[in-house]
Amino acid sequence: MNPPVTIGSLRLPGSRFLAPVAGYTDRAFRGLCAEQGASLCFTELVSAEALTRKSGAYVSADGKTVHPLLRRGEGEKRCAVQLFGASAETMGRAVRLLAPLKPDLVDLNAGCPVPKVVKHGAGSALMKDSVLLGRILAAMVKASEEALGGVPVSVKMRSGWDAASLNYAECARAAEEAGAAMVTLHPRTRSQGYGGTSDWSLIADLVSRLGIPVCGSGDLNSSEDARAMLETTGCAALMFARGALGNPFIFSDSPPADLARARLEAGLRHLELLAGDIGEKAACLEMRKQFCAYTRGGMGRPGIAGGAAVRDKLVHAQTIAEYRRVIGDWTSRPA
């Protein structure tokens, strides 16, 4: 089930999106996911403060200099930029600076639970103040209308700060009134982090309250999960996060028969693409954690045979040739 969805002026052929995951959804990985069928991919969260203070390092006025965080992946026809911050003025300025990139959508992060984001009043800390949340989104919408041709602005949020303050409905209503074209709900509180189980009933409740599309997120680890969320919540779109890491084939209508082999080969392509962006040495170091995702089981899929031994070799690889050798040894092993 992958029905088309319309978000403001943006019409998408499918409703399966790749979530922004810091440290994982770089442009190389987004390109792989788009290739497999993701209709919309979100950049890793980008600091609006950094973007406005060091704009030249992120995107030049002519669009020729673009920070790796903001570059489109190969084959990524549609790309959403996610920003985080706690100031309406700064967020508006940041949106305007995206003009040379021509993003298809701009998203506000109101869900990140990590302390280094929350302590500055950003991420899920915005759930504490629906008025501020609305003010920020209104500034982003205005900036989009003035500088980006009115591309849609959306927000990704949690169900609340903690179990005693489930105010997702209030915050989503403020977002809609501010002009947001879509709300993505990850139905866990900030205090839950990524533990426990996401409460999909909150997504269904939000769908009944809003006149704009609701995108569901949380515990989407397989096509069966995707079908279940669409059927039980009535949401318009799905956002895959941890369930997609190391497995871009989660977006495919026809995943490969030998998924373990395909995941390893995709990881190698990921490494090669990333090396083109940040250099071989840095890419090899960065991909050590990525290959943990490409080889491990869980999240609705089995791990590869002998995964622990393969991971032990991969985390010590220092060149692309070494990665190729380890993966080649595994793929050529006796069945």
Other beta carbons within 10 Å of 56: 10
The active-site residue, picked from 112, 171, 235, 284, is 112
Helices 223-233 and 200-209 meet at what angle, rounded to 10? 40
Q: Which tokens go with 285? A: 């170091």
DSSP states along 193-258:
TT-S---HHHHHHHHHH-SS-EEEESS--SHHHHHHHHHHH--SEEEESGGGTT-GGGG-SS--SS
The answer to whether 294 and 28 have CB atoms below 8 angstroms apart is no
* DSSP result, 52-81: HHTHHHHB-TTS-SB-GGGSPPTT--SEEE
How far is the first Cα of the chain from the last one, in angstroms, to the nearest whole number? 34
Quick check: 75 and 115 in contact, CB under 8 A? no
Q: Hey, what are 136's tokens?
A: 């920020």
Name the nearest CA neighbour of 173 among 136, 203, 146, 212.
Answer: 212
Helix (H, G, I), strand (E, B) or coil at 34: helix
Strand partners, 109: 156
Determine whether 112 is an active site residue. Answer: yes
Active-site residues: which are they? 112
